[in-house]
Amino acid sequence: MMRIICVFFLLLFAIMTVGAKSTISTLCEMKSCESPSILDCSHLNSSVSGRCCVKEKETLSPSTVTGIDLIGCHLTNISRLFHSMGHLVFLYLHKNNISDIDVDDFTGVNELKNLTLPPNLSCPGGHILWDKEINHSDMVECVEEQSTCKVFNVTCPNSNSYCSDVGPRVTECLCSPGYHGYKCLRKDHFPTATFVVGICVSTVVVSAFLWITQRRKVKKH
């Protein structure tokens, strides 16, 4: 049973990974755009893949995309499209009918150097989190995303932890190397193997308990 549970978690992870790759493929191969891509990927040590720049010699995934051109692609909503694209440097979204954006739309995106949006929108997180917010007649240009941790001087519980940028106005406190647990007070490495085994065993016990209790309610015919 334990092996089955562990396999289930592995399959779930695989499904999530495939789903993320499917989203990326859809973006990079989008057919509804009005004009060819204007991306120049050479200065990013990347190669062109449809409307995306992808790191040289890497397969297409959220972590390998460095640039996306979706200018005039008839987008109306960008929710969760760019999650976890930690190496995304350029993102062009102007000439779309996007009515609203949220900082959550850029979770995991914290290396943007250039973001363009329709003129009715503002840079995610506010102009304070960008080196420049330039208003053009047909777009808003957000230049050089700044560190939320530094801009707002975010502090973490103690010296064993540090602030990490997750996205515009979104941060988290992570444990410094060698620390883990509540407020990062425990020293040494996190017992990953013990934790995984504990989760699997707990899942098996709960599943067995539910199976036994539910079996009692089964009416035989």
Tens digit of each residue's pLDDT, the chain (221 residues): 444 444 433 333 333 333 345 678 889 999 899 988 988 898 899 999 999 999 987 887 888 999 999 999 999 999 989 988 999 999 999 999 999 999 899 999 989 999 999 999 999 999 999 999 999 999 999 999 999 999 999 999 899 999 999 999 999 999 999 998 888 988 876 556 565 666 777 777 777 766 666 555 444 44
- 3-state SS, residue 43: helix
Q: What is the dihedral of CA 119, 122, 123, 127, to 10 degrees?
A: 120
pLDDT of residue 151: 96
End-to-end CA distance of the chain: 28
pLDDT of residue 12: 36
Sign of CA dihedral 98, 44, 63, 160: negative
With vertex at residue 9, the alpha carbon angle to CA 6 and CA 10, rounded to the nearest 5 degrees, is 90
CA distance 118 to 71: 10
